[in-house]
Amino acid sequence: MEFRRLPGTRLEVSTVGFGLWSVATPWWGHFTDAQAVRLLRRAREGGVNLFDTAPGYGQGRGDRLLADAFPPSERKDLVISAKLALHPSRPRGSPEPPGPPGPLLEGFALAGPPYDPGAVERQVEATLARLGQPQVAALEIHNPTLRELRDGSLLQAMDRLVRAGRVLSWGVALGPSIGWLEEGRWALEHGADHVMTVYNLLELEPGETLAREASSRGKGIFARVPHASGVLDGSLPGTGAYPAQDHRALRDPAWLERAAASVEALGPYSLPRGRSLGELAIAALLAEPSVISVFPTFLTAEEVDRYSRIDRLQGVTPEESRAIRDRLKRMDAEVPVP
């Protein structure tokens, strides 16, 4: 496993991370605690040391699964990234959550004004209690609006948490590639150590722009959805549609079908060079020096084994990276972002 420094810390983190969203929520299927723990431990055995959790992942289940998978005696090199919870149905720009949280996030949506500093710090203490440890390596503000960031109270809360030693570094976790560029830019300009965002070869923006700006400031990018919801790892059904209970059903089926067609452009850069399409999707992101870690959505032991050993592949050269991106950008008009 290749390792890169987590900005704002002296920690070295694996270039492939494990997001607890896949095993702690029902959106990708149902995992028993035992199944989830086995998958987490398998990833650790494969070299993964960066795990990302959040209170909203199964009402704190993600935190508890990490605590079960890795007792204190096995956490010496473990790096945990956590998030603040957010009411999932709040419209962007809305000054208040639209109402009481639903059952999925009961007890984890913020009360009062969005991201009230007191609620932020209470959430962090609750997360640490579930994890059974005194601090997390990174804390991400989950989908903040620009107004919330500019208010100043969030940044003050981050500063207090860092000074108290409860958090080593902080960043923002942004939504799908339908915007939020300005939120990411603002955070990087005002002290955030990293940005987590959707970033993949079929959805290059805003991740590509944020990666450049992070690089210029010595900051980092966490890339999630590297396989474009199944298009780039071969798990997309032939019809381009998903069952209603699958989180990918939120995708525009027309986009999925057209995106699936676009992968033909990636053929010369994958199997002829000893990489599967899914491996290429991750390796191409890691060709960006500011990409600290990539988070595939791990669902099976086979996926964990394949993608946690990405360092064994021939890396994507800067020349290949430019050629791939130029080709895909030329196709952008044919495969519009939903």
User: Measured between alpha carbons, how far is 174 from 88 in angstroms, rounded to an integer?
Assistant: 13
Beta-sheet pairing, 3-5 with 136-142? unpaired
**Does the pLDDT value for residue 34 go beyond 70?**
yes
- pLDDT category of residue 243 using cuts at 50, 70 and 90: low
- pLDDT confidence band for 316 (50 / 70 / 90): confident
First to last CA, the chain: 34
Model pLDDT, residue 142: 85
Sign of CA dihedral 207, 174, 242, 41: positive
> Hey, where are the domains in the chain?
3-330
**Would you say residue 250 has pLDDT above 90?**
no
Banded model confidence at residue 315, pLDDT cuts 50, 70, 90: confident
Element (H, E) at 153: helix 153-163
DSSP bridge pairs for 27: 29
- Tens of pLDDT, residue by residue over 213-232, are 999 999 999 999 999 888 88
Taking residues 2-21, report their average pLDDT: 96
CATH code that applies to domain 3-330 = 3.20.20.100
- At residue 296, does pLDDT exceed 90? yes
Q: Is 160:166 a contact under the CB 8 Å cutoff? A: no
Q: What CA–CA distances, in Å, run from 284 to 2, 6, 25, 48, 117?
A: 14, 20, 28, 19, 38
Question: Which is nearest to 233 in space by CA: 198, 266, 279, 271?
Answer: 279
pLDDT at 152: 86
Of 18-27, 79-88, 155-164, 168-177, which range is least confident?
79-88
Give how far the C-alpha of residue 306 lies from the chain's centroid of Cα atoms, to the nearest Å.
Answer: 19
